[in-house]
Homo-oligomer: A and B are copies of this chain.
Amino acid sequence: MEKSVGRLVSILYRKNQVYLNIALKPLQITASELPFLLYLFRNANTGISQEALSAYLLIDKAATARAVQSLLQKGFIRKEKDETDRRANKIYVTDLGEQRSRLVKARLEQWTHFLTEGLDTAAVDTMFYVLEEMAKKLEKVDLQDIWRDA
């Protein structure tokens, strides 16, 4: 029980950010914008709300608002008012955004390849599975409520 998830995940997360900011700089995409762009790319033409983006990535809606604004300014996405619910926006990738997404994915795969190279494929799959399960638990929990007793 000596192992904690913290240190390893922290290293992976921070180095991932650094890598992305270097590798994607020529494409004018930052590490913080990337997950939004890719999700929109995978769900192209469906008009995703910012709420849905936040929910999928488990990222605060404030960060989402800023990423959307930044991607908008660069012309990678398009933003419309949802006419059936005028509070919400509908976000779409632009053609330019789709082009970039394809280039981005190639570089992401290189990264994943670098990280998992030489490791047992089944073990890597298991890692993904376990991470996914842990992330699922976090989707359902309001951390503010965990320590009501402290």
Contacts and interface: CB of A to CB of B under 8 A. Distances in A.
B22 A16 contact: no
A44 to B, nearest CB: 15
A134 B131 CA distance: 14
A7 B57 contact: yes
Interface stretch (A73-81, A85-93, A135-143): A135-143
A134 B12 contact: yes
A112 B1 contact: yes
Given A134-B12, A135-B11, A150 B23 contact: yes
Interface residues of A, number: 54
A130 B124 contact: yes
A119 to B, nearest CB: 6
Interface of A (DSSP majority class)? helix
B58 A11 contact: yes
Nearest to A144: B22
Contacts of A135: 7-8, 11-12
B5 A9 contact: no
Contacts of A4: 108-109, 111-112
A19 B146 contact: yes
Given A35-B6, A119-B130, A130-B127, A143 B19 contact: yes
